[in-house]
Amino acid sequence: MVQEQEYIEPEIVDELNKQENKNIEESHSKKVWAWILFILAVIYGISPIDLVPDMPVIGWIDDFTIGAAALTNLIQQQFFQTNETFDKLFKLAKWILISIAVLIFLVAVLIITVIAKS
């Protein structure tokens, strides 16, 4: 038995190819930005200039959370874009880390304000 092949209009094939190329370009762009953000996070971590002064523990937590969020983003973009479950898991972890960093920053600002008024 000869199996019949389905005929697909050339316009549909062209549109599918364009969409695939667009997805590949977006994926590449996200990977490049993930590397840039990771490098900036490393520079921020070793830089003496910080949002939160490098007081023991509190000042180091912001460096850690920003670096961890950038690393999580890099891992997500580099390896897990094809696996939807891992992609969602790393996206959630990244936003949790960013939320923790923002909370720490706000608490540190509050503490510094209270100490300055005393």
77-111 pLDDT, tens per residue?
887 766 778 878 888 888 888 888 788 778 877 88
Question: Does residue 14 lie within any of the structural domains?
Answer: no
Residue 110 has, within 13 A of its CA and on its CB side, a CA count of 6
In a domain, 65, yes or no: yes
**6 occurs within a structural domain:** no
Sequence-separated (6 or more) residues with CB below 8 Å from residue 51 = 62, 105, 108
The answer as to whether 108 is a domain residue is yes
Convert the pLDDT of each residue in 2-16 to its tens digit: 566 666 667 766 666
| Total number of domains constituting the chain | 1
What local confidence, expressed as pLDDT, does residue 73 receive?
A: 85
Query: Whole domain around residue 65: which residue ranges?
Result: 55-118
Residue 52: left (phi > 0), alpha (psi -120 to 50), or beta? beta
Residue 100 lies in a domain: yes
Instruction: Give the pLDDT confidence score for residue 35 in this predicted structure.
Output: 93
**Domain-embedded: residue 13:** no
Distance of alpha carbon 106 from alpha carbon 118, whole angstroms: 19
pLDDT over threshold 90, residue 17? no
pTM (two decimals): 0.61
How far the first Cα of the chain sits from its last, in Å, is 90
84 found inside a domain: yes
